[in-house]
Structure 1
Amino acid sequence: MLAITPTEYGTGADVRNIAAACHARGIPLLVDEAWGAHFPFHPEPPTAAVRAGADIVVQSLHKAGGGLCQASILLLGGDLVDPVDLRLRLDLITTTSPSALLYGSIDGFRRHLVAEGEELIGRALDRVAALRERVAALPRLSVLGESIIGHDSVAEWDPLKLSVDVGELGLTGYQVRQWFEEEQKLTLQLGDSRRVVCSLSYADDDAAFERLYRGFATLANDPPEPDRPAPVVPPLEDLNLKQAMSPRDAFFARTEQVKDPVGRIAAEMVSPYPPGVPAVLPGERFNAAVVEYLRAGKAAGMTVPDASDPDLETFRVVAD
């Protein structure tokens, strides 16, 4: 089983009980813990997946950690996955000329956090708690907090994620993220239909936190005029497309680009960010809800990095 936890918003699944359910059936659990490389080094963030019983865990050290971009590690736990089999499979897809810079940043991050991680992350958590309280006091801004635990299958939450709802300003998160870049010279992690998320870490000092607060204060007290419609997100069940062909057969089939793909079989993957999860996969049949969602999101500022037509005016489908 594959689980992706935590999310970009800091919400985390109940890995311990998921692992127990998998292991009771002899099934290994693979966790994509890209945003959780700092979890093992302080007791307050969510439980590290490998300590909660996951069999394979992948972490991206460049996200919440201190590694260079592409510096990732794979952790192995339990005895359901043969380490020799795992190594042989990795050999099929990894280079024989790895980057010493990446390896060095991985080991530098590990050493730094083992030696000083609890103190560094503790200071960051104190700064984030103070910042969260100050931003929550600003008019028409709502800040996600630990009250999210227990809702919608959220078992744990990473306080180092600052998720701010800007909907009451009449703005989308897409526009606010762009406003921060252009007006405040700050790059936020993401914007969605109504929120922005800031990924904060032990590397951010008091000056960085104060600069971020001033940006939110300016936004709350003097917001820009709305310049785009907010996309309507359909019920999630409407985005569950039916599989009509195998992904491989659809991807390698004879294809064409069409403006109206409703009812046609997709021959491409379309992954809007956030959350960076495919809304369409090869072999699935397009419906009207997913097409409207993608085009409305694109018009609002959503990033769609992998579509064959970056403007989403057409979609790649299996030719009739």
Structure 2
Amino acid sequence: AAIAEVCHRRGRPLIVDEAWGAHLPFHPDLPTWAMDAGADVCVTSVHKMGSALEQSSVFHLQGDLVRPEVLRSREDLLGTTSPNVLMYAALDGWRRQMVQHGEALFDHALGLARKTRERVSGIDGIRVHGRDDFCGPGRAADMDPLQIIMDISAWETTGYRAADWLRAHHRINLHIADHRRISAQSTHADDTDTAEALVAGLTELSERRAEVRSGRPVEMPPPSTLRLEQVMLPRDAFFGRTEQVSWEGADGRIAAEMLTPYPPGIPAVVPGERLNGDVLRYLRTGVEAGMVVPDAVDTAVTSVRVVRDG
């Protein structure tokens, strides 16, 4: 809301990517969704936290800072000329379901997530994060309680290896994982059976934690060195003259590609930024520990695409 106020004071629209927030308007115990916080445009991926088919995303628009015809023309420029009618039907079905049953569905979902969080907290070596860890002055405004975020650093392994183990041994796909955490995303579609499967899988993983100890710590740099200097426009770096160099030799060079650890899918490097050794070591040791960098030309990050000197 404070960001919206700053933008509007200057006559600028606030556009929010709320990909995982399709459910937020439908229960008072969920965080405030972007439009109620004053955003002008909000993009919501209904296929993530709603009952819609893959690729079903929508724009929400309010106020007079973005004209509807302009938004429509921009979408038409990038969208397909052959939209799938099943997607529109699924979106309408989701909207009807939420209007009629949304609060009751999320009453159940929130209660189940709370009980599951309590049970997971009792598993040896797992610390379940809550609002107190992430919310407050200088941090996030709120946290979605349907996300069960777990710190497993006491197991001396990475979230990447833990996620791979759960997929291989229990057919459980976690939401995200990083160098020391895993996260399970609960939804209105979960029930006692899926919650029990998660608890059982995590319990067995705790008992067999020695199997996932990697001995390869991820060299995570401080936030100050993760924020790289932008020295070229991304378009100029990406479409300019480039070369592929070793990851060690990329220190100090200008990136010509995006390097995104996934999950969570947030770029560590975008084209036009000047690379440094800390970020490069983070990516390289991360891949060795199980991190995936799918958008790199060399997904093993043994080499990096950079702007050609001169």
Name the aligned partner's letter for residue 294 of structure 1: L
Give the alignment of 1:44-193 within 5 angstroms: 44-148=29-133, 149-150=135-136, 152-193=138-179
Q: Identity of aligned pairs, percent?
A: 47
8 A contact 2:176–2:183 mirrored in 1:
yes
Deviations 1:220-271 (A, max 9, x none): 2332331342202101110222222222221122211100211111111111
Residue segments in structure 1 that go unaligned for 5+ positions in a row:
1-15
- Compute the displacement of 1:158 (Å): 0.6
Match of 2:20 in 1: 35
SS at match of 2:111: helix
- Compute the displacement of 1:169 (Å): 1.2
Residue segments in structure 2 that go unaligned for 5+ positions in a row:
none
SS at match of 2:140: coil
8 A contact 2:177–2:264 mirrored in 1:
no
Counterpart CA distance in 1 for 2:182 and 2:277 is: 27
- Compute the displacement of 1:178 (Å): 0.6
Name the aligned partner's letter for residue 172 of structure 1: T
SS at match of 2:60: strand
Counterpart CA distance in 2 for 1:153 and 1:250 is: 33
Q: State which of 173, 181, 204 in structure 2 corresponds to 1:195.
A: 181
Q: State which of 227, 233, 238 in structure 2 corresponds to 1:251.
A: 238
- Compute the displacement of 1:91 (Å): 1.6
Q: Please tell me whether residue 298 in structure 1 is matched to residue 287 in structure 2.
A: yes
Q: Please tell me whether residue 310 in structure 1 is matched to residue 296 in structure 2.
A: no
Match of 2:227 in 1: 240
Q: Say if 1:121 and 1:79 are closer, same or farther in 2 by CA, change over 3 A.
A: same
8 A contact 2:256–2:271 mirrored in 1:
yes
- Compute the displacement of 1:37 (Å): 0.3
Counterpart CA distance in 1 for 2:48 and 2:301 is: 29
| RMSD, matched Cα | 1.3
Give the length in aligned residue pairs.
305
Q: Which stretch shifts more, 156-165 or 137-146?
A: 137-146
- Compute the displacement of 1:66 (Å): 1.3
Name the aligned partner's letter for residue 195 of structure 2: F
TM-score (norm 2): 0.95
Q: Which has the higher contact order (CA 8 A, sep 6+)?
A: 1
Q: State which of 266, 270, 290 in structure 1 corresponds to 2:255.
A: 266
SS at match of 1:196: strand
Counterpart CA distance in 2 for 1:173 and 1:266 is: 27
Counterpart CA distance in 2 for 1:157 and 1:243 is: 30
Deviations 1:95-132 (A, max 9, x none): 22111111111111111111111001110100110110
Name the aligned partner's letter for residue 250 of structure 1: A
Counterpart CA distance in 2 for 1:101 and 1:80 is: 32
SS at match of 1:156: coil
8 A contact 1:64–1:200 mirrored in 2:
no
Q: Which stretch shifts more, 148-157 or 104-113?
A: 148-157
Give the alignment of 1:197-216 within 5 angstroms: 197-216=183-202
SS at match of 2:118: helix
Match of 2:276 in 1: 287
8 A contact 1:266–1:283 mirrored in 2:
yes
Match of 1:7 in 2: none
